[in-house]
Homo-oligomer: A and B are copies of this chain.
Amino acid sequence: MSGDTKRSAADLGLPSRIQLIEVGPRDGFQMEDRFIPTELKVETIESLATAGLREIEAVSFVHPRVIPQMRDADDVMAKLSRTNDTIYWALVPNLRGAERALAAQVDGIHQVICCTETYNRKNVGLSIDESLAQLGEVVELARAEAGGRRDVVTAVTMAATFGCPFEGQVDDDRLVALALRLADSGVMQLGLADSAGLGHPELVRRVTAKIRHAVPQVSLRMHLHDTRGLGIANAMAALGEGVTRFDTSLGGLGGCPIMRGASGNIPTEDFNNLCLEMGLETGVSTEGVVAASTRIQSFLERPLESKILRSGTRQQLYAANR
Contacts and interface: CB of A to CB of B under 8 A. Distances in A.
Contacts of A241: none
A202 B274 CA distance: 10
A278 B205 CA distance: 12
A1 B260 contact: no
B261 A116 contact: no
A277 B200 contact: yes
B260 A321 contact: yes
Chain multiplicity (copies): 2
Range class of the A interface residue count: 35 or more
A233 B239 CA distance: 12
Contacts of A168: 1-3, 318
Nearest to A122: B321
A320 B321 CA distance: 44
Given A1-B174, A3-B171, A233-B233, 5 more contacts: A4-B171, A166-B318, A229-B232, A260-B320, A262-B317
10 contacts: A1-B171, A1-B174, A200-B278, A203-B277, A226-B307, A228-B273, A229-B267, A229-B270, A260-B317, A261-B321
